[in-house]
Structure 1
Amino acid sequence: MPLTVGCESIARKLDEGGYPTPASIAGKKNAGQFWHGSSIKTILKNPHYIGDLVQGRTRVRSVVDKTRDEVAEENWIVIKNTHEPIISKEEFESVQNIMKSRYTKRPKAKIHLFTNVIYCEDCGTGLWFLKNRNGYVCGRFKKHGVNACSSHSVKEQYIKEKVLDDLKNLISASVDEKDLLKKVQPQIKKQEQTFYKGIEIRENKIAELKKKNKKFLKLLANEVIEKVDYDEAINENRNVIKKLQSEILEKKDMLKRYTKSTEMVQKVPNELKKLININDITPELLHKLIHKIEVKENKDLIIHYRFSNPFMVN
């Protein structure tokens, strides 16, 4: 039976059909809403569906570090014919052969000018560059379709023009240092409060998760739950805590830049005057001046400068 679609296409069809992910069905707290091609590939490669029991697909790193790493397929422990299959071995092998025949080592992706700089304003996902469009689309939309987000499609040349226009407007507007401070300081204070609030929320969440971990430990000690259930719960919480800690560090780093922004803005006029004759956006200039760019659904851009002076481009 020919395999007519790839794993990503299957994942999108499941999303469009409203089918819940395995993690959602299992009731996991960190369950994702959308299917991923990697999940489909894991399912298609799992011998469990032809009646074989498979163990040892992952293992913990150490007694101290409970992070689970994947084990190479040739090292799995497979016990044949332990239960009733739901597909034939012939179908399973056919799928494996098709997947192997389709596998090609992909060349390293080219980094385009705004890669890792431009993001979707609605969902926060990085925009992907599409060669056939000479522009970018929301990565979440591209992967999961309209149920996840809208395209936020924007041409690379359009972004260049808008950024250049905004920089030139900024240069002319910053001739008067006092006027610049008057415009920027309220935005700085507002953004600082947002960062403080974000940090506080995440720190409280981490404290809650650590309390839960202690409760799980007591339940394990009192033999209320099994060790496997304890490990699963702790690993889930640990992953969430790591993510929250990473977000806190990022927000603190941005907060540090914002708290120094008054001093930095005072230096902006002289720095910008050097850029009066710019007519193109180079990678060096982009990364020197701009922290990130957010794209709205209507193609408006929100430019976050490294000197903490975000402006809306209309």
Structure 2
Amino acid sequence: MDKVAIYCRLSDEDKDKVNAYDESESIQNQKNLLTKYAIEKNWDIYKIYSDDDYSGMDEKRPEFNQMIVDAEQKKFDIVLCKHQSRFTRDLEMVEKYLHRKFPEWGIRFVSITDNVDTKDRGNKKARQINSLVNEWYCDDISEAVRATFKVKREDGKFIGSFAPFGYMKDKQDKNKFVIDEEAAIVVRAIFQWYLEGYGTQKIVYMLNEKGIPNPTKYKQERGLKYKNPSQTDSYGLWNKTTIRRMLRDETHIGHMVQGKREKVNYKLDVILNKPKDEWIVAKNTHEPIIEQDLFYAVQKRLNNNIRSSGEGKTHIFAGKIKCLDCKSSMNKVRSGKDYAYLRCKLYARAPASRLCTSHSIQLDKLEEIIGDKIRRYFSMTNSDTLIDRLKQNDLFCRRIGTLEKELFAVEKQIREKDNIMKSLYTDKANDMITPIQFYELNDRFIQDKEGLMKRKKSIEKAMTDIKDQLNNTEKWIEIIRKYKGFNKLTPAMVNTFIDYVEIGETDSSSEKKIIIYWNF
């Protein structure tokens, strides 16, 4: 009597089709059908193997793999499935097992509803056609799922399993975020510490010292079945990578950022990082944890690659001081225990070459000078003059003017590309160029145009950001009211008010030339 191994499988897409009135694909239905068929054929049932919630493309199905091991050890003679697709939807696996390994091991494969039987030699082409159709089905499903996810992402709907640290899924709508206040307190602290001059390593130390669990540990402690593939231990400690990723994440200012990574295809588990310009960002989809001004001030400091001192904190003007003459940054230099000053970086590299002069200034003296300038500015500023100043700010006007000129030039180039592409079609129709020449030239101009369109979008965004800043006068009025009576300059104030400062040499009147470029 032949021994038979029964194999059943059900995946998520199959479950969607199953309801109270139609259980044709259910695991239990498969078992009943196949058991009855085996008894009718007078086969001895060796074992029933069953994989629930596994795709037909998945090579890591536990019961399937155990069945393959048992088949190689010749524990049974026949593998019985309801349909060939229950065994696998992968064309390569069909060829590997049904047409190579099973014949080598003396195993016969039978599936009922599509009449597959490897004992029938004339059945081979039908099996190959079935496997090809099954693979096409997987490919179509994969593309359909990708397209659906893309639309949802563009609509600002979250499609992931776990919300980022600081948020949780809305219980009324799993595609939306609501603030998790306990975690949000930590996020706000991290941003504030960084803006105050603390380095990422110092922030890591501060969080770990306070016993605050990292995002992975936090989610697990709240009963979420979250697994971090990068996790190396279960201690729940923070690291610099997590901090920097959090500081860069626009989710914290209310934007839904998705599509950062993508699976190569449905047959491979390889996931690749996508370039930032291909991420899908939907603006203003949920309540922000961090104010935009604070967020972009942090981005500026990150982009300047500012290093903290040995105490874990940068000086108050880090990344904002430049040499007036050569435009190099000015670095902090310490002389003795208490005396610190700033010096031109270009000069410091080769003093004897006289590429520039030192432009040195004592750090506490600069803090005093700029603090006095801000106080003097506040004393001369009221709400009405601030509004006029913001609207007439020469720096913003120059920036807008430069961007408008660049936008005009880019739009002109786009029109030129369009005209050239139209001419190519005409030349091809008149047989003035060959089809090969047409496609080569046309592809090149399409790529050029795509690059120009991206640049246009970037310019328009920059113009919008500047105009928003100009129009947001109420915000600046509130900030000035908040800081007007300050005693000591803080990193937060410097980042709020100052874009950068240029330090010149001492002039004929023994005055140090200092030019401040304000953020307003």
**TM-score, normalised via structure 1 length:** 0.41
Larger radius of gyration: 2
| TM-score normalized with structure 2 length | 0.26
